[in-house]
């Protein structure tokens, strides 16, 4: 019997029905455990429905979607490959190669490792005349600005590009060069959340509006520069929310909003110097969310950008965007996220919260006046992010979980990103400390394999984070054998891993004659904690613990013995 799928209808389930089934699946856990609180203070629902979205936004939903779709500055996504080179000759060669291989916006950070002579500036001026560019400056008097003096006066009116600096750059002869950069990247790199970034972009727009004198002059020079992080849907919503906010900002001036470009780059605050190929996955995720969100210009940083990019890593970074543009088909859809119950809801939440923060900043006297408060608020968010990574509530694959202890930590440092408050830094420092001290670490596995394996694997995973492979005893089933192994092992630090009852049996005996060995126990044993600690137990290792604090205490305790 053949089945015509077109004629099959599935019964629609209500939210309450879904909730009832979810509660059953949770097996006693509260339904509220499915809700997630973001760093922006927004609670994410476990399920979003059309009814929920309509109830939340009403007729504002159509206005939100329409705003996002009309305030698009670019029909596609331009590839802005950063040009890197150790010498002038290498830089120009890499620039030419990038253009030949799909780069569309010449991207230059002025912190170049070579002197900017007249010949180099003339060549760069020729490229800036022919191609769009993105130029990042250290300050308003950056020497690289001399490149604009080299551009033929008759061609200046047609030169297009973006200049990112801490203040507006005056280039009156270049009407198509945008110099009012709302650069939220530096705040992002310090730990800012999406709402803070959006509010900062508006606050900077307000500063530029005073300088410009009119909305039209502002709109012709203004653009926003975002870093896009790994929270895929959140970053889509962030970019979309900016367009909603820009319309509200424009309305405050009594004019119809003019689309302004959204320039973006992949965030490096989640990048790590260990297991660097995971950075490639992070960058790909970030680039795709930027494309869906509606970014106009995008830079993908190579996966080894923290140290020294190679020709291969640069090519992979560029190809990430080429694949996104040419093969994903996502750019052939106007507002790909439009209509998503979740993303539309999150977009509205971000826009509302960011507008409230923007008004708060303005009431305080503007961004400069509010900056000390904002800095403290961003620091608080950063500390919470850091804490969640150190306790594994947030995973940095290859760094705080599933780490490869064989990975070697590179010593090179790319100065362009040296000041970023990367979440992996405490783990990289941990690796350096353990490598320098090289404590002899072991796991005493007591009982049968099936009973101790989970805890032993967990402990081994914790030490892998520090680049350590602990020596393991294998199955030990008697207390005497455990005492003998501990005495003969020659180890400085040992963790006992076993089932609860097995652990309670062996630990007191081990503590009696452990000598100078620092002894820890895998798991939580609250009833025995006081007694064991008094008898000489060093501590415990368990899930949810701050890994950095624990492993630092291990090295400190071993040093005490030595």
Range 147-158 burial, b when 16+ CB lie within 10 A, else e: bbebbeeeebee
- pLDDT the model gives residue 75: 84
C-alpha–C-alpha distance, residues 394 and 260, integer Å: 34
Confirm whether pTM is higher than 0.75.
Answer: yes
Select from 121, 71, 372 the least CA-distant residue to 222.
Answer: 71
C-alpha–C-alpha distance, residues 439 and 212, integer Å: 62
pLDDT in tens, 306-363: 999 999 999 999 999 999 999 999 999 989 999 999 999 999 999 999 999 999 999 9
- What's the average model confidence in pLDDT over 428-443? 92
3-state SS track over 74-110: CCCCEECCECCCCCHHHHHHHHHHHHHCCCCEEEEEC
Residue 92 confidence (pLDDT) above 80: yes
pLDDT in tens, 121-166: 999 999 999 999 999 999 999 999 999 999 999 999 999 999 999 9
- What's the average model confidence in pLDDT over 163-178? 95
Q: For residues 280 and 300, is the Cβ–Cβ distance under 8 A?
A: no
What is the pLDDT confidence band of residue 561, given thresholds at 50, 70 and 90? low
The string of DSSP letters for 418-477 reads: TTS--TTHHHHHHHHHHHHH---EEEEEBS-HHHHHHHHHHHHHHHHHTT---EE---B-
CA distances from 111 to 135, 137, 182, 456 (A): 11, 8, 20, 48
Residue 466 confidence (pLDDT) above 80: yes
Query: What does the mean pLDDT of the chain come to?
Result: 95
- pLDDT the model gives residue 206: 96
């Amino acid at each position: 019997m053949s089945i015509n799928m077109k004629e099959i209808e599935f019964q629609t389930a209500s939210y309450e029905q879904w909730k009832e089934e979810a509660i059953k699946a949770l097996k006693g856990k509260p339904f509220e455990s499915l809700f997630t609180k973001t760093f922006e203070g927004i609670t994410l629902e476990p399920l979003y429905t059309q009814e929920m979205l309509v109830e939340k936004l009403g007729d504002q939903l159509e206005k939100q979607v329409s705003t996002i779709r009309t305030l698009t500055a670019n029909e596609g996504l331009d590839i802005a490959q950063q040009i890197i080179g150790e010498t002038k000759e290498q830089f120009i060669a890499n620039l030419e190669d990038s253009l030949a291989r799909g780069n569309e916006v010449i991207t230059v950070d002025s912190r170049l490792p070579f002197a900017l002579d007249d010949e180099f500036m003339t060549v760069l001026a020729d490229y800036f005349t022919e191609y769009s560019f993105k130029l990042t400056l250290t300050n308003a008097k950056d020497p690289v600005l001399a490149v604009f003096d080299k551009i033929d006066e008759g061609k200046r009116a047609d030169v297009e590009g973006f200049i990112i600096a801490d203040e507006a750059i005056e280039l009156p002869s270049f009407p198509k060069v945008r110099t009012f950069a709302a650069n939220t990247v530096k705040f992002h790199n310090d730990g800012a959340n999406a709402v803070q970034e959006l509010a900062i972009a508006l606050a900077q727009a307000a500063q530029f509006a005073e300088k410009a004198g009119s909305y039209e002059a502002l709109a012709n020079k203004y653009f926003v520069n975002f870093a896009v992080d790994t929270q895929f849907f959140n970053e889509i919503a962030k970019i979309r929310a900016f367009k909603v906010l820009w319309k509200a900002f424009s309305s405050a001036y009594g004019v119809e909003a003019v689309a302004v470009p959204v320039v973006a780059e992949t965030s490096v605050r989640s990048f790590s110097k260990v297991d660097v190929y995971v950075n490639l996955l992070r960058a790909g995720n970030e680039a795709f969310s930027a494309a869906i969100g509606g970014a106009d210009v995008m830079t993908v940083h190579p996966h080894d950008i923290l140290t020294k990019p190679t020709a291969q890593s640069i090519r992979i970074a560029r190809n990430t965007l080429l694949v996104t543009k040419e093969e994903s088909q996502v750019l052939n859809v106007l507002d790909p996220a439009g209509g998503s119950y979740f993303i539309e809801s999150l977009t509205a939440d971000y826009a509302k919260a960011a507008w409230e923060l923007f008004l708060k900043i303005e009431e305080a006297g503007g961004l400069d006046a509010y900056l000390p408060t904002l800095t403290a608020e961003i620091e608080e968010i950063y500390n919470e992010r850091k804490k969640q990574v150190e306790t594994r509530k947030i995973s940095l694959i290859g760094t705080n979980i599933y780490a490869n202890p064989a990975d070697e930590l590179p010593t090179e440092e790319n100065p362009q990103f040296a000041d970023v408050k990367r979440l992996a830094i405490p783990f990289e420092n941990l690796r350096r400390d353990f490598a320098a001290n090289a404590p002899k670490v072991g796991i005493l596995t007591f009982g049968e394999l099936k009973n101790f394996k989970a805890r032993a694997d967990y402990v081994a995973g914790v030490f892998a984070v520090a680049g350590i492979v602990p020596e393991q005893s294998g199955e030990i089933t008697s207390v005497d054998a455990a005492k003998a192994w501990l005495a003969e092992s020659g180890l400085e630090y040992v963790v006992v891993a076993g089932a609860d009852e097995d652990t309670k049996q062996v630990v007191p005996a081990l503590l009696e004659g452990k000598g100078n060995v620092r002894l820890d126990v895998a798991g939580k044993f609250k009833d025995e904690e006081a007694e064991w600690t008094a008898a000489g137990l060093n501590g415990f290792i368990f899930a949810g613990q701050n890994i950095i604090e624990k492993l630092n205490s291990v090295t400190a305790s071993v040093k005490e013995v030595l």
